[in-house]
Amino acid sequence: MSPSASLPTERDALTSRVLPQMILSKGDETSLTGPPIPVATDLNASGRARLRFGVQGNAVVTGGAGTLGFAASRALLEHGLSGLMIFDVDPAHGKSKIQALQDEFPTAKICFTKVDITDDIAVSAAIDDTTKTLGSVDILLCFAGVVNCTHAIDMTAAEWRRTLDINLTGSFLCAQAAAKQMIKQGTGGSIVFTASISGHRVNFPQPQLSYNVSKSALLMLKSSLAAEWARYGIRVNSISPGYMDTILNEGDGLAEARAIWASRNPMGRMGTPSELTGAVVLLSSSAGSYITGTDIVVDGGQVVF
């Protein structure tokens, strides 16, 4: 039979297919999205404040050896995180970061594993190992990513695919593996993607098409997963950093671009890594229990223009 002869059968099948449908949570006390348990009345004001932004359980942080991921990891530990697993591709750099955190937080269990987040088998295995090591996976922060500044007319297919594979597909694979574990635990959880102001508007003066597309896609990934996974008690959100003062934005070659970025920012400067941690703690803590499908822009007002 020729390929064309099978087309009518395939087309007929389209009219008889049944679409899968999302199931939303009931939101009552029997569900995983019910209202929070009232705060104990015997706590004083400072106790209630600490509890409000308390971070419980264990977290996986991809790209945790990088500047932003490391700052976020430390912030979660400061707010009560019990265990931390850093996923990164640089063991030497990662292990030194772990030692620094372990010295600062001796009672927490802090570990590192080398993972290629674009490899679904490796990611699933790493989540399984994390569960065995820490006991559970309750929070996932996705900081692993790459930047590509190439004129669109000159971009190769390999460059395009690599950026989307790491920034978008890698984030999805980690979220999927973590969500499967959270569902198995039956305790819900929080997933936070790192999007960017580049997902909201075109950067200037540098061309970075593949990066911008990957980050805008992350915003829809966040919203779609928030809708699908709410019934499991899994909240899915994202943060969109502006230009942050990290090694990626250093060097004499970027001096002109840095000046342009600052001139178009109402606050007149780049952000520091610590200024991103407030949003991370909010979305990972009790204070964010009714926040899902949301993107928090932390950019000094860069996108208002």
List residues with catalytic annotation. Answer: 196, 211, 215
Report which of 273, 279, 242, 274 is spatially closest to residue 258, judged by C-alpha positions: 242
Pairing of strands 295-298, 139-142: unpaired
The SS3 assignment for 90 reads coil
Extract long-range pairs of 14-20: CB within 8 Å, 24+ residues apart. Answer: none
Measure the N-to-C terminal CA separation of the chain; round to a whole number of Å.
59
Longest dimension (CA), the chain: 78
Report which of 178, 280, 186 is spatially closest to residue 225, judged by C-alpha positions: 178
- For the record, the structure tokens of 150 come out as 């190439």
The SS3 assignment for 144 reads coil
The SS3 assignment for 300 reads coil
Report angle CA 197, 203, 209 to the nearest 5 degrees: 95
Cα-atom radius of gyration of the chain, to the nearest Å?
Answer: 21
Q: Rounded CA gap, 1 and 197, in Å?
A: 52
Contacts of 184 (CB under 8 A, 6+ apart): none
Q: Rounded CA gap, 274 and 70, in Å?
A: 10
Chain centroid offset of residue 180 CA: 16
Q: Rounded CA gap, 203 and 242, in Å?
A: 10
